[in-house]
Amino acid sequence: MKNTFYYIVVGSVIATMISCTTYSTHNVASRNPTQEQTSTSDNSVKMDVANECAGLKAKPFSSYSKFYFKPDGTAYGLKNEKEIKLNFEESYKVYNADGSLNYIESLNSFKAAKGITSAVCNSGLPQSSTGKAVGIPAERPTSNASPGSASKAGCNIKSDADSVVLAMSWQPAFCEGKPGKPECRLAQFLTDDAYQAKNFTLHGLWPNRNSCGQNYGFCNEVKSPKNDFCLYPEVTIADHSIEKELETVMPSKAAGSCLERHEWHKHGTCQDLDTTKYFARAIKLLKNFNESSTAALIRDHIKTPQLKKSELLKSLDIAFGDGASKNFIIVCKKSVLTEIQITLTPKILSPDLEDSDIAIKNLIDKSAKGYIRNCNEDITIDQTGPG
């Protein structure tokens, strides 16, 4: 009888502890101002954001009340109370410093690309005495914005970067995911001797401000991203030789899909170099990497067995200095290498920097921690063309 009583008491205590722990966890989550809590109780929705244009005739996605992620990372919208899977492009995704997906910022990026903004949704609506449009929900308080929100003060102030990211794409893998892009289907880009078949291409050179996350940008007249890069104003490069080089290392420019416009208006406007010198610096850094022993190792594995992740990391240390591999960001999709990034010091964009000093090894920001995303021990190096 004593034993029975003992087990009953212990069981009751454990049940109470579990209940208290669960309650405490939910309260901690609700106090986090950077995460909008969903109304679902089964945790089927990971994060959601409202659609300011919901119910407004002739406005973008007006039949959708909100957008959200499921735990598996798939994005959905609630359209007339029905769940619809979104065509959520990789370019909409925003990642945290540790490589994890920032759900709220990614959804806001999607909304911006689709033209779902307060200005668009409010336009043409009757105004109340307070100046707010009638019939739409009030804007969210600024305390709900994440630390990386572009609306945060100082995230579009020129020459205020504390680091610079060089982003380089492995074009064959990029084109596997976006075969419809002009630079991925025109014959001139699909030969084995094309530049992008054996070299990394230039994604961008991005001035960064740590307090803004990945949202430091648009420091001039253009203040928001365009869904079609060719809708940005044209970019003039005074030196014709630099422009021709850019067409080689950035296939999008040669193909007419205008990545150079996006890169300049979002990133280039946030530093002091003109267009010619800015792209010239980026090209020189890219060539510096493509001429390294790491790039040679990657080329050697295009049509051979997969590259070992440990071997790749070791090569980065050899090519760019002991411990450098810890500063690189290596991105794969299902263990297919798609991009390599490295964080550099702001010195790389200084007008006073001599050409002879432009080398990745000399400019790595040692305080910036790298990471590896979606790469197994065996990494595939994609070859150009279909398949």
pLDDT on residue 187: 84
pLDDT on residue 153: 58
Q: Kindly report, residue by residue over 202-222, the tens digit of the pLDDT.
A: 999 999 998 887 789 999 999
The end-to-end CA distance of the chain, in Å, is 72
Nearest to 290 by CA among 259, 249, 334: 249
pLDDT on residue 135: 36
111 — pLDDT class (breaks 50, 70, 90): confident
Q: Kindly report, residue by residue over 64-102, the tens digit of the pLDDT.
A: 989 999 888 899 999 988 999 999 887 788 777 667 788
Average pLDDT, the chain: 81
46 — pLDDT class (breaks 50, 70, 90): low
Whole-number Cα distances in Å, 177 to 75, 127, 174, 347 = 17, 45, 6, 34
Residues comprising the chain, all counted = 387
Q: Would you say 77 and 61 are in contact if contact means Cβ atoms under 8 Å apart?
A: yes
288 — pLDDT class (breaks 50, 70, 90): very high
**What is the pTM (predicted TM-score) of this model?**
0.68
pLDDT on residue 62: 87
140 — pLDDT class (breaks 50, 70, 90): very low
pLDDT on residue 122: 66
pLDDT on residue 45: 67
pLDDT on residue 37: 31
Domains parsed from the chain with CATH numbers: 47-130 (no CATH), 163-379 (3.90.730.10)
Using DSSP's 3-state secondary structure scheme, residue 31 falls into: coil
How many Å apart are CA 79 and CA 61, to the nearest integer? 9
Q: Would you say 316 and 328 are in contact if contact means Cβ atoms under 8 Å apart?
A: yes
Using DSSP's 3-state secondary structure scheme, residue 223 falls into: coil
pLDDT on residue 177: 86
190 — pLDDT class (breaks 50, 70, 90): confident
pLDDT on residue 113: 81
CA 179 to chain centre: 20
pLDDT on residue 384: 83
How many Å apart are CA 56 and CA 135, to the nearest integer? 9
pLDDT on residue 5: 47
> Could you count the other beta carbons within 10 Å of the beta carbon of residue 366?
12
Which residues make Cβ contacts (< 8 Å) with residue 338, sequence separation at least 6? 169, 170, 173, 174, 177, 331, 332
Share of the chain above pLDDT 70, in %: 78
Choice among 15-24, 51-60, 267-276, 360-369 with the minimum mean pLDDT: 15-24
Q: Kindly report, residue by residue over 317-358, the tens digit of the pLDDT.
A: 999 999 999 999 999 999 999 999 999 999 999 999 999 999
Q: Kindly report, residue by residue over 248-258, the tens digit of the pLDDT.
A: 999 999 999 99
How many Å apart are CA 331 and CA 327, to the nearest integer? 13
Whole-number Cα distances in Å, 214 to 95, 164, 226 = 8, 11, 17
Q: Which is it for the CA torsion 214, 219, 224, 226, positive or negative?
A: negative
Is residue 35 scored above 80 in pLDDT? no
384 or 120, greater pLDDT: 384
Which ranges of the chain does DSSP label H, i.e. alpha helix?
2-30, 103-113, 118-122, 171-177, 182-185, 195-198, 240-249, 251-255, 259-266, 275-290, 293-300, 309-320, 360-363
Q: Kindly report, residue by residue over 3-34, the tens digit of the pLDDT.
A: 544 444 445 444 444 444 433 333 333 323 33
